[in-house]
Structures are given as C-alpha cells and as structure tokens.
C-alpha cells in the first residue's frame, strides 16, 4: 500500500468513526506487595522486624497513559489529513514511586529490602506517575510525544513491627536479655513496636499470665508448671502475631559449695546450693525443707532417742544466682561414752513460687543429710549435697 492510500485508509476511520471525547486520565494503582503479609485491609501489609538477614519486598504498579489530545499526526502525502498518535512500543513507560524506604525501580516494580536496621514503623508507598512515549503511525509525521499520567494511586502501608522481649533478670549462665526460655516464676517485659499501633495481648495456651498491661506493653509471668506458652498479639485492627515461649522448672540438679568448722562434739557446715538449670532464673522460687525422721541408725546412734528428727524449716528464697544457703549443724551432749556410728535424714524438700505458694517436690537424693560420729572421741561429720564437713 502506498503512502497516499495508507493516509486515506486512516483518515476514513477518522472521518466516519465515532468522535470520542477524551476522559480524565485513569487513576494509577498499586496491584500487589510481594514479600509481606497482607492485612485484611487490602491496602495494608505487615512484616516482622528482623534480628539479622533481610527480606525483599516488591511493590507492583499499573496504569494507562492516554495519547496526546486531538490528532497531532499529519499525513505525509496530504497535510489536510490528521490522525492520533500511538504508543511507541520501542520505549517502555517509566514509573515513579514515592515511599519512605529507599529502593530501586525496575519498570513497574519498586524493590527494597527490610533488614535488621529497618526501624519498626509504618511505611507508605504511592505510585505517583507513569510516563509513556507516543509516536505517529507510519506515513504520518509529528512527534515524538511524551505523555504523563500523574493521577496518583491510593497509598499502601507496610507496617514493620517488632515484639521485644526483655527478661527482668539475667540467668546465671545465660546473659541473653531476649531469651525465650524462662524459669518458673520469671517475669518478661513484652513491648510491641511501634507504640502508635493499637495492640491487644492474650495468652493463647500454656502456663503464663499477663500482668501490668498498658497500651503496647505487658509483663508475661511464667507460672509453676513447665511447658510451652503461646502469647497472642492482635494489632492494627486485624493482624496477628503468635510468640512462643518455653517454661522450665528446677530439674532436681544442684551445684553445691561448702564452708564450715568443727570441734569435738560439734560440727557446722554452710552449703551454697545452686539449683539447675542455670540458663534460666528462679528468683521467684523458694525452697522449703519438711520434717524427717532419722533412718539407718548404727553404732552410737542405735539406741532409741539418740538420733534426733529433722525439724521442719522455713522458706529459703533463691537469689539471682538460683542459690540459697543451707545451714547444717550437728552436736552431741558431753558425758557419753562415744563410739563410731551414724544415721541420716531423707529430707522432703519442696519448691514453690513466692507469690503463689504452690508446692512441688524438688528433690530427694540431694537432700539426704548424713550424720556420722567418726571415732570414740566424739568427732562428727556432716554430709549433704555431695559435700562434707570436715572433708576427709
């Protein structure tokens, strides 16, 4: 087809077609946010803050750009004949996004990374402009033309949030303030960031309660049972976060060191008893020794009434090192004919939470206290928790 007939064919459409009134540019649109969790609200997305590593987020936009108004293209063979410009397929449209996280634009996509340095807050993104090049059809002259659609999209919001856990006291062997395994009775400060977001805390299941909840903070209190606890956090009117924590109780193990002194007919030993495990803290735990009858009497302690019973003791609160002091004393009255002998107490020992007074048996074997008269001079020895005074 020659240039003249092409222009005729084109102008025929213009002359005999329906005359269209050009509408306002259509509104641009953000069609997806990949890499983040979508909130029930279509324009809201959430991403948990990171301790390390990164998460890639891709925002995709779309929007049409109208050609130039009127018929700016002139037929090469007949200047009276005009037509509309068409998109230049050799030139991709350019997209402009605005947002308060810096990133890169690749065609209709805006890409950026969430890292450990990304502050917990709401970030908003908008597709503000699309620019498209147009050209005249073959056999027509004019242009090129650059057209812009700057009818900005509705913004989308990306909430980067953080659930910060701060234990109240460090564990003896684990200084990590953000650990998620706690001893019975431990308290953990929970803070949701940013503080501008509406938050509702709840314990889904397990062995913990909430205390001193205010706005975006609460205190998780581990109870007297061990197991897994789940903390639920409703936030931003529809999003949900589930945090998991483990609660452990004293496992029956211990670490003991001893100091003491001894004289004929008398021996005293002070034992520092540290409960295990030591990678959690038991500062809200106390131990209680119950009464115990003497057992295994032999030698000097065989006659009835010579070996005394163990009296019930008061509570011994643990310190921040999971430790308490156990004072052991043994003496015999003078004026007897002494000979080797001994007996022991198998002392029932409970632990409970200071605030709840819920008792649980702690250990037996470690709390067996052995009293021995070692010779006919009345020298004595006490053994408990694997240590002895005197130590020989």
CA dist 315 → 184, 318, 325, 345 (Å): 17, 10, 11, 18
Query: d(Cα 247, Cα 222) in Å, to the nearest integer?
Result: 7
Query: d(Cα 56, Cα 51) in Å, to the nearest integer?
Result: 15
**What pLDDT is recorded for position 128?**
97
CATH class label, 254-389: mainly beta
Per-residue pLDDT of the chain (392 residues; tens, 9 = 90+): 444 445 654 443 343 333 333 456 899 999 999 999 998 777 999 999 999 999 999 999 999 999 999 999 999 999 999 999 999 988 899 999 999 999 999 999 999 999 999 999 999 999 999 999 999 999 999 989 999 999 999 999 999 999 999 999 999 999 999 999 999 999 999 999 999 999 999 999 888 999 999 999 999 999 888 899 999 999 998 999 999 999 999 888 888 998 888 888 899 999 999 999 999 999 999 988 889 999 999 999 999 989 999 999 888 999 999 999 999 999 998 988 999 999 999 998 888 888 765 555 555 456 899 999 999 999 999 999 989 999 75
Given phi > 0 = left and psi -120 to 50 = alpha, else beta, which region is 216? alpha
pTM: 0.79
Query: d(Cα 300, Cα 152) in Å, to the nearest integer?
Result: 98
Q: Is the dihedral of CA 357, 359, 365, 371 positive or negative?
A: positive
Given phi > 0 = left and psi -120 to 50 = alpha, else beta, which region is 75? beta
| Residue 284 · residue 274 · CB < 8 Å | no
| Residue 194 · residue 165 · CB < 8 Å | no
> 110 CB contacts (<8 Å, ≥6 apart)?
58, 59, 61, 95, 97, 99, 103, 104, 125
**What pLDDT is recorded for position 11?**
41
| Residue 10 · residue 137 · CB < 8 Å | yes
CATH class label, 185-248: mainly beta
| Residue 254 · residue 229 · CB < 8 Å | no
Terminal-to-terminal C-alpha distance of the chain: 117
Identical fold for domains 185-248 and 254-389, yes or no, is yes
Quick one: three-class SS letters along the chain?
CCHHHHHHHHHHHHHHCCCCCCCCCCCCEEEEEECCEECCCCCEEEEECCCCCEEEEEEEEECCCCCCCCCCEEECCCCCCEECCEECCCCCCEEEEEECCCCEEECCEEEEEEECCCCCEEEEEEEEEEEEEEECCCCEECCCEEEEECCCCCCEEEEEEEEEEEECCCECCECCCCCCEEECCCEEEEEEECCCCCEEEEEEECCEEEEEEECCEEEEEECCCCEEEEEEEEECCCEEEEEEEEEECCCCCEEEEEEEEEECCEEEEEEEEEECCCCCCCCCEEEEECCECEEEEEECCCCCCCCCCECCCCEEECCCCCEEEEEEEEECCCCCCCCCEEEEEECCEEEEECCCCCEEEEECHHHEEEEEECCCCCCEEEEECCEEECCC
**What pLDDT is recorded for position 27?**
95
Q: Where are the domains of the chain?
A: 3-36+54-156, 185-248, 254-389
**What pLDDT is recorded for position 2?**
45
Query: d(Cα 186, Cα 188) in Å, to the nearest integer?
Result: 7
């Amino acid at each position: 087809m020659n240039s003249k007939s092409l222009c005729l064919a084109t102008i025929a459409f213009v002359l005999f077609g329906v005359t269209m009134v050009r509408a306002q540019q259509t509104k641009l649109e953000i069609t997806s946010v990949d890499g983040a969790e979508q909130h029930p609200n279509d324009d809201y997305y959430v991403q948990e803050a990171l301790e390390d590593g990164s998460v890639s987020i891709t925002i995709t936009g779309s929007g049409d750009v109208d050609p130039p108004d009127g018929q700016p293209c002139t037929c090469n063979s007949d200047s009276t004949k005009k037509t509309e410009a068409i998109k230049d397929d050799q030139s991709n449209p350019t997209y402009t996004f605005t947002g308060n996280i810096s990133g890169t634009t690749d065609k209709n996509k805006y890409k950026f990374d969430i890292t450990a340095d990304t502050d917990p807050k709401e970030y908003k993104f908008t597709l503000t402009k699309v620019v498209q090049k147009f050209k005249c059809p073959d056999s027509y002259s004019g242009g090129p033309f650059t057209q812009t659609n700057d009818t900005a999209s509705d913004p989308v919001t990306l909430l980067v949030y953080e659930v910060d856990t701060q234990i109240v006291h460090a564990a003896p062997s684990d200084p990590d303030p953000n650990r998620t395994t706690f001893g019975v009775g431990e308290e953990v400060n929970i803070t949701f960031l940013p503080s501008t977001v509406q938050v509702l805390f709840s314990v889904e299941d397990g062995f913990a309660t909430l205390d001193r909840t205010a706005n975006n903070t609460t205190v998780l209190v581990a109870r007297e049972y061990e197991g897994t606890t789940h903390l639920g956090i409703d936030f931003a009117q529809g999003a949900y976060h589930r945090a998991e924590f483990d609660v452990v109780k004293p496992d029956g193990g211990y670490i003991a060191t001893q100091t003491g002194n001894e004289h004929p007919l008398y021996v005293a030993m002070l034992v520092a008893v540290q409960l295990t495990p030591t990678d959690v803290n038991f500062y809200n735990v106390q131990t209680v020794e119950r009464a115990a009858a003497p057992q295994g009497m032999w030698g000097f302690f065989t006659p009835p009434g010579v070996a005394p019973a163990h009296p019930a003791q008061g509570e011994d609160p643990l310190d921040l090192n999971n430790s308490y002091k156990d004072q052991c004393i043994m003496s015999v009255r003078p004026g007897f004919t002494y000979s080797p002998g001994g007996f022991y107490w198998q002392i029932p020992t409970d632990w409970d939470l200071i605030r709840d007074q819920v008792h649980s048996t702690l250990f037996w074997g470690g709390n067996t206290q052995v009293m021995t008269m070692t010779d006919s001079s009345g020298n004595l020895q006490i053994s408990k928790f694997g240590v002895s005074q005197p130590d020989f």
